Amino acid sequence: MKAILIPTDFSKNALHALQYAQELFKCEKICFFVLHAYSEEVYGQYKTAEKESIEKLKQEKKEQTQKKLDALLGTVIGTPPNPLHNFETVPCFDNLVDGINDFVDEMNIDMVVMGTKGETSNHKTTFGSYTVEVFKYVKCPVLAVPEGFEYQPPKSILFPTDYLLPYKRRELKLLDELAGKFKSKVHCLYITDFEGLSPRQEDNKLFLENTLNRPYLYFETAPIRNKTEVILEHIEKKGAEMLVMMNSRHSFFEDMLYRSTVDLLSLKIKIPFLVMQNLKR
């Protein structure tokens, strides 16, 4: 049984991400953990309060959070419920990123699914402003579902890669199972001006080819321009319903993060964005 973590701020977009995950895995045995991190709701109001006041508010917020999580599940379980799906609620006294990371480690979570925008427009507190932080630091594949994206099975998946990473088998297995069950086309896109691959790239490409053996796999190249524009063009060209990228140090993804161009990509991307982590777990 897969374990899927759904962080929620109780916004419509977070609910949409949960519903998308239910559809994506509707034919699989899944345990959905629905998590709300509420530490900022406590400390935001009582930064200089006495310890007793904070402890009282912590308990109140925990009870309020539990009630809201229970009410949320009441709207998504369905009638009749999917017998393959189990749900557990997780009120978490922590910040969002640390709370997710600790729970991922504790429960050996297979994937985090989250919405890309939240309830408030305040950049410091909005759920969406944490998305890049979750991409960067959570040691687990993270699937971000854009606001307004209507569920479609991912029959076409775009996977930009430079073949420089020693891919983790667990991460690729997840993609292999996901793409395999939909008989998807996975377009591995290498953005380069060079002809041919180095021996290391050839080895990684072969490992990729041998591990992703259930979907239809295509290897393509595109000349270097603005990489974000190239990705967006190929999403349109291939009719992709999902974008997949690998996060690792010295990767193209990290380069995008630190140059902040991922913000532009996230604003323009209209399809779910799966970030696989090439990190030890």
Residue 81 exposed, middle or buried by CB count within 10 Å (0-12, 13-18, 19+): exposed
State percent of the chain over pLDDT 70.
83
Unique residue bearing structure tokens 């539990």: 66
Unique residue bearing structure tokens 């099975």: 153
SS3 state of residue 264: helix
**What's the rounded mean pLDDT across residues 28-51?**
79
Q: Do domains 2-145 and 156-277 have the same CATH topology?
A: yes
The number of CA neighbours under 13 Å toward the Cβ of 47 is 2
DSSP 152-194: ----EEEEE--S-S---HHHHHHHHHHHHHTT-EEEEEEE-SS
- Answer for the pair 112, 14: CB distance below 8 angstroms, yes or no: no
* pTM of the predicted model as reported, rounded to 2 decimal places: 0.87
Q: What is the pLDDT of residues 56-111, one digit of tens each?
A: 888 888 999 999 999 999 999 987 899 999 999 999 988 889 999 999 999 999 99
Indicate the pLDDT class of residue 38, thresholds 50, 70 and 90.
confident
CATH, range 2-145: 3.40.50.620
Indicate the pLDDT class of residue 122, thresholds 50, 70 and 90.
very low
- Whether the bond into 166 is cis, omega within 30 of 0: no
**What's the rounded mean pLDDT across residues 27-54?**
79
Q: What is the pLDDT of residue 41?
A: 75
Enumerate residues 6+ apart whose C-beta is below 8 A from 15. 8, 72, 75, 76, 115
Question: H helices within 77-222, ranges in order?
Answer: 96-107, 131-137, 169-181, 199-211
Q: What is the pLDDT of residues 246-279, one digit of tens each?
A: 876 555 555 554 444 455 565 578 899 998 886 6
Q: Does domain 156-277 sit in CATH 3.40.50.620?
A: yes
Indicate the pLDDT class of residue 118, thresholds 50, 70 and 90.
very low
Q: What is the pLDDT of residue 273?
A: 92
- Answer for the pair 160, 189: CB distance below 8 angstroms, yes or no: yes
Q: Indicate the domain borders of the chain.
A: 2-145, 156-277
Indicate the pLDDT class of residue 124, thresholds 50, 70 and 90.
very low
Unique residue bearing structure tokens 């999580």: 69
Average pLDDT, the chain: 85
Q: Is the pLDDT of residue 151 over 70?
A: yes
SS3 state of residue 74: helix
